[in-house]
């Protein structure tokens, strides 16, 4: 089988599995405290991923700076990112959670615009951001009655906080990529993210009526550890290494659709015209923001080439 064929199969696997994790999380939090459930998932997945990474390559960076950086990224992406999504799904449907999470690239671009001097705002990005807000408005519009419920509103806001935190963690992680053993670092992020969840669980979670051994909850946990955290992540990294970034990241457009459909078929979640319009609006929004971002960097590269060809046209150093 050709390498590209394997990469496309891996990408399809990622699209399907990451689209179904929202349903599995929803099932899990019906039986377990959210941060405890997510903490068990990510800690075990982190240990497994680190072990696999060390078996493949014994290289790893255990310097103080690297460990602190992985702790920070793990706290932002996993503790706040995954933890708040898991907590939010106690009160809102898995499909709605997936739609809100699909806005992550919008937050990532915003963080880059504010943190990087060479990234600039343009009209395409602006239109994309406006559409993103409209997509969220469509979700809220259909659920106006639920907004008066503090828990439902809290769930929605928790998902938005999670999405912003994941984007911030991704931005920090991308600026400090370590080529020594990225898989091991990813395992560290999962592990520390899970440990921080354990620390927050007694403060945030409600343990009333909690039963340790629940068949549906355990099955959801195993699925999330094996498929959602370990296999899908490894498949995504493989697809990313073999395919163009624009193709490998297409999962961001497919996951919400799968999550909405699976939630409807398996959990009998609501599926209506507003949900469909919100999906289309947010998908177009993410596409436009990414397009505007790519256009900006393409222009920068062209300007750099022209400057190299005609150095006399460049301004003198001050």
Residue 219 belongs to domain spanning: 3-300
In a domain, 163, yes or no: yes
Q: Is the pLDDT of residue 208 over 90?
A: no
Q: How far is CA 142 from the centre of its chain?
A: 24
% of the chain beyond a pLDDT of 70 = 85
In a domain, 313, yes or no: no
Number of domains in the chain: 1
Radius of gyration of the chain (CA): 21
What pLDDT sits at residue 17? Answer: 94
How does the average pLDDT of the chain come out, rounded? 82
Query: How far is the first Cα of the chain from the last one, in angstroms, to the nearest whole number?
Result: 57
What pLDDT sits at residue 221? Answer: 95
State the Cα–Cα distance between residues 34 and 204, nearest whole angstrom.
9
In a domain, 306, yes or no: no
Q: pLDDT (tens digit, 9 = 90+) per residue, 232-267? A: 887 887 887 787 766 777 777 788 889 989 999 998
Cβ atoms within 10 Å, residue 313: 8
In a domain, 308, yes or no: no
Cβ neighbours of residue 246 closer than 8 Å, sequence gap 6 or more: none
pLDDT: which is higher, 117 or 183: 183
In a domain, 309, yes or no: no
DSSP for 98-141? HHHHTTHHHHHHHHHHHH-SS----HHHHHHHHHHHHHHHHHHH
State the Cα–Cα distance between residues 120 and 131, nearest whole angstrom.
19
pLDDT: which is higher, 138 or 157: 157
State the Cα–Cα distance between residues 224 and 7, nearest whole angstrom.
22
In a domain, 318, yes or no: no
In a domain, 310, yes or no: no
Cβ atoms within 10 Å, residue 117: 5
Q: pLDDT (tens digit, 9 = 90+) per residue, 18-73? A: 999 999 999 999 999 999 999 999 999 999 989 988 888 777 777 888 889 999 98
**Residue 61 corresponds to which tokens in the numbers above?**
């960076």
What pLDDT sits at residue 1? Answer: 62
Q: Where are the alpha helices (DSSP H) in 176-214?
A: 182-204
State the Cα–Cα distance between residues 245 and 250, nearest whole angstrom.
9
What pLDDT sits at residue 72? Answer: 94
In a domain, 146, yes or no: yes
State the Cα–Cα distance between residues 237 and 227, nearest whole angstrom.
14
Q: pLDDT (tens digit, 9 = 90+) per residue, 70-123? A: 999 899 989 999 999 999 999 998 988 888 888 887 787 777 777 766 667 778
């Amino acid at each position: 089988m050709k390498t590209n064929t394997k990469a496309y199969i891996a990408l399809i696997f990622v699209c399907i599995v990451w689209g179904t994790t929202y349903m599995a999380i929803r099932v899990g939090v019906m039986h377990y405290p959210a941060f405890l459930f997510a903490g068990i998932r990510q800690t075990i997945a982190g240990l497994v991923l680190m072990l696999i990474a060390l078996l493949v390559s014994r290289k790893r960076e255990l310097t103080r700076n690297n460990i602190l950086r992985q702790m920070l990224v793990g706290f932002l992406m996993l503790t706040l990112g995954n933890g708040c999504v898991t907590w939010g799904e106690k009160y809102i449907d898995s499909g709605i959670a997936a739609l809100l999470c699909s806005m992550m690239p919008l937050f990532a671009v915003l963080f880059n615009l504010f943190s990087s001097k060479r990234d600039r705002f343009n009209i395409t990005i602006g239109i994309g951001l406006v559409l993103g807000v409209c997509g969220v408005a469509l979700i809220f519009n259909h659920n106006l009655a639920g907004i008066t419920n503090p828990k439902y509103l809290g769930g929605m806001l928790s998902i938005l906080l999670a999405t912003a935190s994941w984007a911030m963690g991704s931005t920090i992680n991308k600026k400090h990529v370590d080529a020594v053993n990225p898989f091991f670092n990813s395992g560290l992020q999962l592990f520390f993210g899970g440990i921080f969840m354990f620390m927050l669980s007694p403060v945030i979670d409600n343990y009333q009526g909690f039963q340790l051994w629940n068949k549906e909850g355990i099955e959801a946990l195993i699925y999330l550890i094996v498929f959602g955290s370990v296999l899908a992540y490894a498949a995504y990294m493989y697809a990313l290494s073999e395919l163009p970034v624009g193709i490998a990241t297409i999962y961001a457009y497919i996951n919400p659709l799968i999550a909405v459909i699976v939630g409807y078929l398996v959990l009998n979640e609501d599926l209506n015209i507003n949900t469909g319009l919100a999906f289309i609006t947010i998908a177009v929004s993410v596409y436009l923001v990414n397009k505007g971002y790519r256009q900006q960097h393409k222009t920068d590269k062209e300007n750099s080439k022209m400057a190299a060809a005609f150095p006399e046209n460049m301004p003198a150093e001050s």
